[in-house]
């Protein structure tokens, strides 16, 4: 690898290691949302309350507990049209995050811009969720997404400066 020592530290077998890490994060997101979509699809045409009771028994929860009761009450609100929408949304979002991950893995500018745009669009919502209820999971997700946003913004800005420099000083 040639170039400055800083740049060689960032590269891993010809790839930007941070872009690879962000791509892996996006691939994980895609898998998670595929699982959610499959779960919603699996629950179609089934009694959700029965499925929750079976799961509670399998996990050795007391079926009479307040937690199981709370989940059963909330599950009674979930009807088939909502399950279809959840499944559709989950599969669409999985596809989008898969495209982001592929674009980042291949180090394509469109992948970086797409990820930057989508990440930026979720940041205000994530801040609102933390204001609504502070949890370590929400803070962690906001921190990760903010760091992804800052890194991609810096990367895109550096590439823009390099391109402008090459235009001003052609070889």
The enclosing H or E element of 15 equals strand 15-16
Residue 1: pLDDT over 70? no
Its pTM surpasses 0.85: no
CA distances for 137 relative to 8, 29, 113, 122, 142, angstroms = 33, 15, 26, 15, 9
Q: What is the mean pLDDT of residues 53-66?
A: 84
Q: What is the mean pLDDT of residues 134-143?
A: 95
The whole-angstrom distance between residue 31's C-alpha and the CA centroid of its chain comes to: 10
Q: Six-digit token pair at 107?
A: 């180090």
Tell me if 83 sits within 8 A of 44, measured CB to CB. yes
Q: Single out the residue of 22, 7, 11 nearest to residue 115, CA to CA.
A: 22
Instruction: State the pLDDT at residue 13.
Output: 60
Q: What is the mean pLDDT of residues 152-169?
A: 90
* Least-confidence region, from 44-48, 95-99, 116-120, 146-150: 44-48
Which of the 8 DSSP states describes residue 79? -
The whole-angstrom distance between residue 152's C-alpha and the CA centroid of its chain comes to: 15
Residue 8: pLDDT over 70? no
Give the span between the Cα atoms of 19 and 14, in whole angstroms.
11
Tell me if 84 sits within 8 A of 44, measured CB to CB. yes
Instruction: State the pLDDT at residue 164.
Output: 85
């Amino acid at each position: 690898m040639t170039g400055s020592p800083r740049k060689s530290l960032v590269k891993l077998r010809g790839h930007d290691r941070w872009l690879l890490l962000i791509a892996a994060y996006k691939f994980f997101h895609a898998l998670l949302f595929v699982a959610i979509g499959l779960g919603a699809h699996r629950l179609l045409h089934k009694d959700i309350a029965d499925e929750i009771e079976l799961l509670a028994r399998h996990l050795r929860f007391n079926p009479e507990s307040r937690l199981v009761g709370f989940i059963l009450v909330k599950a009674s609100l979930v009807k088939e049209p909502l399950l279809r929408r959840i499944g559709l949304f989950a599969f669409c979002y999985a596809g989008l995050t898969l495209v982001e991950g592929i674009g980042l893995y291949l180090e394509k500018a469109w992948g970086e811009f797409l990820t930057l745009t989508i990440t930026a669009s979720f940041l205000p919502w994530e801040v609102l969720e933390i204001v609504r209820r502070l949890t370590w999971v929400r803070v962690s997700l906001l921190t990760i997404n903010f760091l992804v946003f800052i890194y991609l913004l810096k990367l895109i800005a550096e590439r823009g400066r390099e391109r402008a420099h090459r235009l001003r000083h052609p070889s």
